[in-house]
Structure 1
Amino acid sequence: MSLIHWEPLKELNTLRQQMNRLFDEIMHPESTQGIFPKMDNLAWNPAIELKETDQDIILKIQVPGIDAKDLDIQVSENAVAIAGEYEEEKTSDTKGYYRSEFSYGKFQRIVPLPVNVKQEQVAANIKDGIVTLTIPKAEKSPRNVVKVDLSVQEKAREAMAEERLHQEHLQANMQERATEELARNNTEHIDEAARAAMVEKRLHQEHLEETMHTRAAKEVGIDPVAK
């Protein structure tokens, strides 16, 4: 007996194939032969017992006459799938038989679980034709309910809009101040240049006046140095 994780899509495909075979057998009964008419590939469902305790889910499955090696059990977080084959005893002696209700052939059954389980921690045993699976229940995830307050969201949007306008106002003020500072700096630079030009012009004027005075003194025979 092997325990592996269940692949739901794979099991659904298997189930569909079995249903197709069943339909073919019903529509073509002439293919059934023998003293006891039966459908060779008809899947039969073993009986189960499902129990829930405080900590575990306990699943019992009746599989009389089937060896553990012929069973395939797959466990997911919310279901158990069991498959196997009950081989028919081969005999050519049919004398004296009036009726047989024994079920033979392959079988498969999927058992939904009432709660989610920890499939990695499943424990299994088989005794007297009964498979017992003990699977710890998974912790229930809390279902938090969140109340939506539209007024709070509206206030948040208004606050964001107000903050955006405030930031735009601050940015405009900073740009205006930067423009004024630049203009003031240019004005101070222009005033300084004007003052320097006026000083230079005044010195040049004084130099011209002194030169003219010297020339005039020489023309009238007066020594400017002696003066």
Structure 2
Amino acid sequence: MALVRWNPWQEMNSLQRQMNSLFDDMLVPTTVVERNFTRVPAAELQETADALHLKLELPGIEAKDLDVQVTQNAISIKGERKSETKTEEKGVTRSEFHYGKFQRVIPLPTRIQNTNVTAEYKDGILNLTLPKAEEEKNKVVKVNLDQAAA
């Protein structure tokens, strides 16, 4: 029986290779399962004193293929990137584009006036301006101490 020197870093290297392989597979789709994986649009939310500004990245999607619904507490975005059929007589076509339906619900950190939302869609970027709801003024109630003591 031969003695083998144990290298504790070998297990770490093996784990790192497995993690790299996992992330490589996620970034570059190679199987049918990964091609059907639904991606949600990237979002950026900025809050100012009087409004929330939401920016969504939706490249390759036409405005008619989007459904944006706004409540006082959240925004729901549904859409579909339709596939384009391409044929080639010579060679093979490989596509890493993701097609299909997607849906994303974004909860808002504060209540908004959902009837006054404005939207602009240009070059695959959807900009929503969501004005904040007017907070009710604090009501002051006077407590009559004479009646409370009785």
Q: Which fold has the larger relative contact order, with Cα–Cα distance below 8 Å and residues 6 or more apart in sequence?
A: 2
| Residue number in structure 1 paired with 2:98 | 103
- The 1:89/1:36 distance shift into structure 2, 3 A limit, reads farther
List runs of 5+ in structure 1 lacking aligned partners.
Answer: 1-34, 156-227
Q: Which structure: greater strand fraction?
A: 2
CA distance, structure 2, for counterparts of residue 110 and residue 80 of structure 1: 6
CA deviation profile, 1:66-117 (whole Å, cap 9, x unmatched):
00000000000011000000112223547163xx432210000001111100
- Pairs aligned (count): 119
Q: Which has the higher helix share?
A: 1
Q: Distance in 1 between matches of 2:138 and 2:37?
A: 44
1:125-175 Cα distance to aligned partner (Å, 9 max, x none): 1011000000110122356698x9xxx6462xxxxxxxxxxxxxxxxxxxx
TM-score norm. by structure 1 comes to: 0.45
Q: Counterpart of 1:76 in structure 2: which amino acid?
A: T
Code of the aligned partner of 1:78: N
Structure 2, gaps ≥5 residues long:
1-29
Contact 2:36 2:98 in 1 (8 A): no
Q: 1:85 corresponds to which residue?
A: 80
Normalising by structure 2, report the TM-score.
0.66
* RMSD (Å) for aligned C-alpha atoms: 3.0
- Are 1:87 and 1:104, in contact at CA under 8 Å, matched by a contact in 2? yes
- Cα distance in 1 for partners of 2:93, 2:56 equals 33
